């Protein structure tokens, strides 16, 4: 029996800046749900073990201290992990210089 459903891609650009294809402002669903949850500590506190698992290499990479790390919420810390991955991808030896293999894998889980 032939498949009666056909997937059709619908491309709609509705971000504020045409050069920004990753911000949440382009998707009303994400904006409505994520904005209501993003700073809700009860949702993200159970994942603070991830921060603890990468704390030391992140402190070394960005020259930070524990007080600064403790002041960050989960998403602020996540932005730093994303930056570390991007730097490594661009050819900077972030993984080899600052992270063990296990820490680097955890860093990617963010």
How much is the pLDDT for 35? Answer: 75
Q: Give pLDDT tens digits along the chain (110 positions).
A: 556 666 666 555 566 666 665 666 666 677 777 777 888 889 889 999 999 999 999 999 999 999 999 999 888 999 999 999 999 999 999 999 999 999 999 999 88
Q: How far apart are CA 21 and CA 3, in angstroms?
A: 32
- Helix runs in 1-110, H state only: 28-37, 41-44, 48-62, 66-71, 74-89, 94-98, 101-109
Q: Which of 97, 100, 106 is nearest to 53 (CA)?
A: 106
**HSE of 15 in the Cβ direction (CA atoms, 13 Å)?**
10
Global pTM?
Answer: 0.69
How much is the pLDDT for 29? Answer: 73
How much is the pLDDT for 88? Answer: 92
How much is the pLDDT for 33? Answer: 77
How much is the pLDDT for 67? Answer: 97
Structure tokens at 52: 């603890």
How much is the pLDDT for 20? Answer: 62
How much is the pLDDT for 81? Answer: 94
Q: How far apart are CA 76 and CA 13, in angstroms?
A: 26
């Amino acid at each position: 029996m032939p498949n009666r459903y056909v997937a059709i891609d619908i491309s709609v650009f509705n971000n504020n800046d045409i050069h920004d294809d990753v911000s949440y402002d382009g998707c009303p669903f994400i904006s409505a749900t994520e904005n209501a949850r993003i700073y809700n500590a009860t949702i993200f506190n159970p994942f603070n073990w991830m921060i603890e698992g990468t704390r030391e290499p992140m402190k070394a990479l960005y020259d930070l201290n524990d007080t600064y790390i403790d002041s960050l919420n989960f998403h602020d810390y996540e932005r730093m992990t994303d930056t570390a991955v991007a730097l490594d991808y661009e050819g900077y030896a972030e993984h080899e210089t600052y992270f063990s293999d296990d820490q680097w894998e955890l860093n990617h889980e963010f």
